[in-house]
Chains A and B, each alone.
Chain A
Amino acid sequence: MGPLIPQGFVNADLNLFFAFIIGLGFGYVLEQAGFSSSRKLAGVFYSYDFVVLRVFFTAAITAMTGLLFFGYLGWIDWDLLYINPTYLWSAIIGGAIMGFGFILGGFCPGTSLTAAVIGKIDAMVFIGGMFIGIFIFGEFYNAFQSIYTGAFLGNVFVYDTLGISRDGFAMLLIVVALAAFIITQRIEDKVNKTPDLEKKARPSYWIPSAVLIAGGLLLLLLPSQPRSGWHEVSPDKILTTMSNQHHLTGIDEVAYSLINGKDRPVMLVDVRSAEDYARFALPGAVNIPLHQILDHRYENILRSPDQKVVLYSNSNTLATEAWMVATRAGIENLTLLDGGLNGFVQTIFQEEHITDSYNLNVEHQGRFREKARNYFLSGKAVPKTESVGTPVIKLIEIEKPVQGGC
């Protein structure tokens, strides 16, 4: 289910369910377009019915325009899209075989299934032929292997090869598609000798054409990424939060959490480098180095709903940088440790604690810090939540496939 699962909108277990629903939709569309009729399908080769070309071209430019807009709005992450790798020989030879089979049998793989399901026997035989072909390919794979994997060009894009921009190519494709619709209509009329009356009664498609061309032009004009997303937090709000110091968490609160873990749980995030983290980290802290703070994989950790998330580094500086970038991205209720590790050690371990004062607050704080100091020095700083088992954080990593195709 493409980009929706890695981004956490959809549970990964629903993958097959969505595949099923989409499959139903695809079969329905094919049937509605009349693609279960081999006569209609083969018409594209004999010039009397170009419906196959029109349907697939329309689908392609609609999907392309939609994807490009969704990418711009940030609803789709292009890095997560699967791109078919290009194997030249496989594409050419396989395409020729498929075209040959299409003309002969009047079906292609997907449409043969929709036709077989409604009871057409020629479609069922076609499917049988497909399986024989698959069997032969599998059995004699060793003979085909060098051709099959030959001329591997990687995941190339046609606009890169042509040397034009992606949005430029999109516009070009829309224009070519519209031209193709007009030209194929003319050819159809000539071959079928359509009477003028019928031609005149045809509805005009200027509205859909205008919308598509306008869409293509808009894509050309828009930058590839908006400079700020609608879900981001405004700079003024960030400035106000910082001026009021609402983004800080005190040392005492973190110390308390380290001692009485279950009571007031705090999720500590170390934003320093992996080396610094390995050398020392506060008990129970997770490492998300600054340069990875916007990584999708860690988003769930930073957005913990039931815990207070506290970023820390050696001082306030690095943690502040991480806090600002993450907060702008829309992560709420994030705070940072005021003083960092330097301040923590200074306050708890180096300073003289006032344990006897007429000011009760000062006295309580002093006694607490003295207790914390002894607690950490005597080695009891293992999170009490240990008894309920070490919590597991699941990250989803997207593995880019090496081979694919259909």
Chain B
Amino acid sequence: MNKIQANILKNATLLFAIVGIMALLVQWIAAPDYKAENEAVLSTIANDDQKILPLQLHEMITTNQLANYTLVDLRSSHLFNVGTLSGAINIPFADLLKKGSLKQMKKHGNSVLLFSDDESQAVAAAVLLISKGFDDVKTLANDYDYIKKNVLETFDPASAFSKSEKARFDYNRFFRTGGGADGAPVRTQPKIIQTEIVKTQGGC
């Protein structure tokens, strides 16, 4: 190999290295501050065992298991002062990711129990904390007022497995098809999904 080709090789490898380093720098700088991959967070929440149903909460209270968790009330400070779960700290939802808040929540290691006056807000907080590296995050199913009435005051067995995602109606009754009064379920017309099979192949 002569001088010119050697120079081309040298310049090409340097260029390769520079592009690689710049890509890594962009990745390092532009990447937001998460401690867990999105896919990992998804499989954690898809398992659905973070939600503590009223029956489980009742058991946890009677066996004093709640002491193992940092209890976090996500409601406003006003509501918190009116009444909350005993031993809970108040971190309004909007302040969840502040440094001080995260520090407060680490009291019991990575074990946090969240609740709010909106079940979906507690779940949202849980997703954020899981992606920030907390690996033992639980939420209370249902909103605080429901829990107060059916678990904290006196346990109502009828509420044992209640949660927001339970279907409260037979939806088909309301979206009828032609005629109206016969109550037949509507055959919904989803868009047609065509799957195009792309074969990956190798070669040499």
Question: Would you list the 5 A-B pairs with minimal beta carbon distance, nearest first?
Answer: A316-B120, A203-B6, A234-B32, A315-B164, A406-B204
Measured between beta carbons, the chain B residues less than 8 angstroms from A212 are 13
- Chain B, interface SS category: mixed
Q: Does B198 contact A (CB under 8 A)?
A: yes
Which of B26, B33, B166, B193: most chain A Cβ within 10 A?
Answer: B193
Q: Does B23 contact A (CB under 8 A)?
A: yes
- Contact residues, A33-58 vs B (CB, 8 A): none
Q: Report yes or no: A12 in contact with B198, Cβ–Cβ below 8 A.
A: yes
Q: Do A320 and B20 contact each other (CB < 8 Å), given the known contacts A284-B190, A393-B191, A400-B200?
A: no
Q: Report yes or no: A379 in contact with B186, Cβ–Cβ below 8 A.
A: yes
Q: How far is the CA of A379 from the CA of B189 in the complex (A)?
A: 13
- Contact residues, A384-406 vs B (CB, 8 A): 386, 390-401, 404-406
Q: Does A2 contact B (CB under 8 A)?
A: yes
Q: Report yes or no: A317 in contact with B32, Cβ–Cβ below 8 A.
A: no
Shortest Cβ gap from B13 to chain A (Å): 4
Q: How far is the CA of A405 from the CA of B76 in the complex (A)?
A: 64
Q: Report yes or no: A404 in contact with B202, Cβ–Cβ below 8 A.
A: yes
Q: How far is the CA of A240 from the CA of B29 in the complex (A)?
A: 21
Q: Does A73 contact B (CB under 8 A)?
A: yes
Chain A to chain B contacts (Cβ below 8 Å), 17 pairs: A12-B198, A207-B14, A212-B13, A228-B34, A228-B38, A230-B26, A234-B33, A235-B32, A320-B123, A320-B124, A321-B127, A329-B38, A349-B174, A377-B174, A379-B177, A381-B175, A399-B198
- Contact residues, A326-362 vs B (CB, 8 A): 328-329, 340-342, 345-346, 348-349
Measured between beta carbons, the chain B residues less than 8 angstroms from A80 are 200
Q: Report yes or no: B167 in contact with A314, Cβ–Cβ below 8 A.
A: yes
Measured between beta carbons, the chain A residues less than 8 angstroms from B46 are 290-291
Q: Report yes or no: A317 in contact with B119, Cβ–Cβ below 8 A.
A: yes
Measured between beta carbons, the chain A residues less than 8 angstroms from B194 are 392-395
Q: Does B199 contact A (CB under 8 A)?
A: yes
Candidates B9, B16, B124, B171; contact of A345 at CB < 8 Å: B171
Q: Does B97 contact A (CB under 8 A)?
A: yes
Measured between beta carbons, the chain A residues less than 8 angstroms from B186 are 283, 379, 381
Measured between beta carbons, the chain B residues less than 8 angstroms from A394 are 194-196
Query: A234-B33, A314-B167 given. 19 additional CB < 8 A pairs?
Result: A12-B196, A73-B23, A215-B17, A228-B38, A243-B94, A276-B167, A290-B46, A291-B42, A316-B118, A316-B164, A325-B42, A346-B168, A349-B174, A379-B179, A381-B175, A395-B194, A395-B195, A399-B199, A404-B202
Measured between beta carbons, the chain A residues less than 8 angstroms from B20 are 69, 215
Measured between beta carbons, the chain B residues less than 8 angstroms from A316 are 118-120, 164
Q: Do A232 and B32 contact each other (CB < 8 Å), given the known contacts A286-B191, A314-B166?
A: yes
Q: Report yes or no: B202 in contact with A321, Cβ–Cβ below 8 A.
A: no
Q: How far is the CA of A279 from the CA of B39 in the complex (A)?
A: 28
Measured between beta carbons, the chain B residues less than 8 angstroms from A82 are 200-202
Shortest Cβ gap from A336 to chain B (Å): 9
Measured between beta carbons, the chain A residues less than 8 angstroms from B131 are 235, 328
Q: How far is the CA of A83 from the CA of B201 in the complex (A)?
A: 9
Q: Report yes or no: A207 in contact with B26, Cβ–Cβ below 8 A.
A: no
Measured between beta carbons, the chain A residues less than 8 angstroms from B168 are 314, 342, 345-346
Q: How far is the CA of A406 from the CA of B168 in the complex (A)?
A: 59
